[in-house]
Amino acid sequence: MTSIPTWLPVSVSLVSTTIALIAFSYQVHRARFNQSVDLLFRLENDFFGANKVKQRALAAQNYLANSQDFTEMEDILDFFETIAMLTRKKALDLYMVWHTFDYWMERYYAIARPYIKARQAREPGVWEDLEWLAPKLAKLQSKKNKGKLVVFTEPALSAFMAEESAEN
């Protein structure tokens, strides 16, 4: 009878442990992805829900009546700030955020940027994650447009606000 080499059980144990760790790592990755998708769907439902649509329409109407008054738009900027923070902390994927919210985020950011800068002069931390995310979304949009940068003209932004104000 031949004896089993002493290294064989150790090797089998090492291979088994490695396979288990790889499988565990994959399951953790899948669970995080599923949570991210669920979070994105909840944010999307909120953004397109009746309350947020009404809020967006009110913000647009207020802006169209007085382009210096961003009071009603602050809640929308706060919503985008939350999305930006969740993206920065990797709870949301950049591409998924771009795919779902970029149309609105880029336009609201372009409209509110002077106001954001003025508020940040007084309160440096306000909307800082949105400031972090906006260039990343613009870069991804440019990549999707084969290198062309999107420039928002005043008439295009006014048309967007008119579109938003009619949503309610």
Neighbours of 121 (CB within 10 A): 9
27 is a domain residue: no
9 is a domain residue: no
Q: Count CA atoms within 13 Å of residue 70 on its CB side.
A: 18
pLDDT tens digits along 86-134: 999 999 999 999 999 999 999 999 999 999 999 999 999 999 999 999 9
For residue 128, give its domain range.
40-165
7 is a domain residue: no
147 pLDDT band (50/70/90 cuts)? confident
157 is a domain residue: yes
Angle separating helix axes 7-47 and 94-122, nearest 10 degrees = 60
pLDDT tens digits along 22-33: 998 889 888 888
Rg for the chain (alpha carbons), in Å?
Answer: 24
Q: What does the pLDDT read at residue 1?
A: 59
Q: How many domains does the chain have?
A: 1
